Amino acid sequence: MNMMGTTRRVTPGKRESATDPGLVLAGIAITVLAVVSIVLVSSVHLSGADNAPINPAALTLSIAQDKTPWTGAMTAIAVAETLLLVGLAAAGVWLYVRRSNPAARDFDRAARLMGRGRQIEFLTERGALAKAATLGVPRAFGPGLPLGKAVAGGRRLYSNWETCTVDIWGPRRGKTLSRIIPGILAAPGAVLATSNKYDYMVKATRALRRRMGRIWLFDLQKIANHEPDFWWNPLTYITDDDTAEKAVSVLAVDGVPTGGGGGGSAEFFHKAASRLLKCLLLAAALDRKPAPIVAAWTAIPTDASEAAEILDRHGWPRLANEVRAAVASPSDQRGGVFETALNWASVFTMSTIQAWITDPGDGRPHFDPDAFVRSKDTAYVLSRGKGDGSSAGPIATLLTVAVCEAAEQFAAEQGGRLQVPLVCQLDEAGNVLRWPAMAEKYTHYGSRGILLSAMFQSWSQGVATFGKEGWSTLWDAAGVAIYGGGIKDTDPLGDFSQLIGQYQYQSVSRSSGGGGGSTSRSTQTERVLDVADLGAIPFGRVIAFGGSAAPVLIETEFWFNTPLGKKAQQATDEDDAAKTLLDLNDGGSAR
């Protein structure tokens, strides 16, 4: 993380977060005077005294000199108007208190000392549309993916069509409602969205997205209890030894070698099992076999000879010989290597997963990543996290990799960049997705029109997923990084505080003594937001760190309060009404 800080100066003699009491009193006095004047003039003229002066000062003098007699009717009107104004004021205060967030109001004082105005032009609608124009992205696509509203100034902010983002949000901070769903709704083309739960992400967006293209709900572990209505063979991603090796890196990301002791022995078995699994995956892919065959070959080493024969037939003799060597190795070594490979390939044998990755023979469609990235379809990929029992995460990750690399190829065909951006909303990226190469992809995917938005629960989760160096690469390569609050790790909070910067103000102290009084002034420097502030960031507030924008405090917007959200809700209501009518008609036919 770039640790350059910023120091801002504020008006000498006062801290910017403080309000001048004199200005407050003056404002109250002016308001009271204006209200009294309005009540006075309106009471006199509504009572029928048409010849009375309109100027409040002249009218007051006229009443005092008895030139305009004050009547009982005027008193009644004045009392009624006063009660009405007091009631309206009380109602306004009540609504303000009811709808506002007191903690957020206090926190929002920091916004004036953070990015605003030209400092955040990169994130504004105008700035994002200007970037879209330089990229050749149609204006009809909009400025980009919404981030929320700047607290200072109230302008809506966006990540543009060349920006990958990374988010850190603690649990139950409104991430789905204010970040994931708005991003899906704003996408002009295909969308890939991952999650470990069936929640608002799918329910709020499916109806509107269905009007753009097909919905692919990939429910690998019955999270939504959605029965398979298509299938995808993960081996179709594998076309050569390079893609086979990438697939192994996904399958083995959490693998623990089982053959032998620690240290060098464990490393040997891990590397040997990785080479073996690469060969077996490629053999199965070349012969268009179902994915579970790979687990079968690793379970019974002698059966892997079939894979060697396939590799020979398809012109991969070196890899065929590697398989034969593994089969012929000493029994202890062979057992450790094959058992380790089986641990990684066993995901293909999970009963709930097999229904999604093998052809049932009933003609249901096969998911094609190449066709998907050329469409306006939506793929929702649901899988439990790695800590929640048996995880289908490797399959979800392989699908994500297949889609993204298909998008890379399509971008190359279009001159290096997708004409219609692919939006990938990757919720629970540290649990559902374990993609070792993701950090490197952040360095160039934005320029290709492949927009990754990866969501993590904490800084430490990112480090655990990619390693310290990989996580730092991802965080720094993201065009916009969002901190949504809810974490307790003081190290990253200290880094965030330093990035947000400091401000200076002059403090005044006065002293008195026998020889008279004295006044002294000194310049004080403080962090705009310290670690404690960032640890207690209120709900509905996030901080965006943009590559070419100063850190900015943002008010989040729930999807249902946005124009696109209202369209999505209307589409959902229409679909619900149509389903109800269909159910009624079916019931009538049955009767």
Max Cα-Cα span within the chain: 120
Task: Please say whether the beta carbons of 319 and 242 come within 8 A.
Answer: no
Distance between CA 15 and CA 11 in Å, rounded?
7
pLDDT digits (tens, 9 = 90+) for 277-336: 999 999 999 999 999 999 999 999 999 999 999 999 999 999 999 999 999 999 999 999
CATH of 125-217+376-393+402-510+520-569, one of 3.40.50.300, 3.30.930.10, 1.10.10.10, 3.40.228.10: 3.40.50.300
Distance between CA 382 and CA 206 in Å, rounded?
14
Question: Which DSSP state fits 109?
Answer: G
The radius of gyration computed from the CA coordinates of the chain, to the nearest angstrom, equals 32
Q: How confident is the model at residue 587 (pLDDT cuts 50, 70, 90)?
A: low
Starting at the edge strand that comes first in sequence, how are the strands of the sheet with 145-150 ordered?
Answer: 156-159, 145-150, 549-555, 541-546, 480-483, 165-168, 450-456, 422-426, 191-195, 378-382, 215-219
- When pLDDT is averaged across residues 156-162 and rounded to a whole number, the result is 97
- Does the pLDDT of residue 584 top 80, yes or no? no
**Residue ranges per domain, the chain?**
25-100, 125-217+376-393+402-510+520-569, 234-257+265-352
- Does the pLDDT of residue 450 top 80, yes or no? yes
End-to-end CA gap in the chain: 68
Q: Which residues pair with 310 in a beta bridge?
A: none
For residue 161, the surrounding DSSP H or E stretch is none
Distance between CA 455 and CA 254 in Å, rounded?
20
Task: Please say whether the beta carbons of 213 and 376 come within 8 A.
Answer: yes
The model carries a pTM of: 0.81
Distance between CA 256 and CA 63 in Å, rounded?
94
Q: How confident is the model at residue 262 (pLDDT cuts 50, 70, 90)?
A: very low
CA angle, 18 then 20 then 21, to 5°: 115
- In three-state secondary structure terms, 2 is coil
The structure tokens 């059966």 sit at: 303
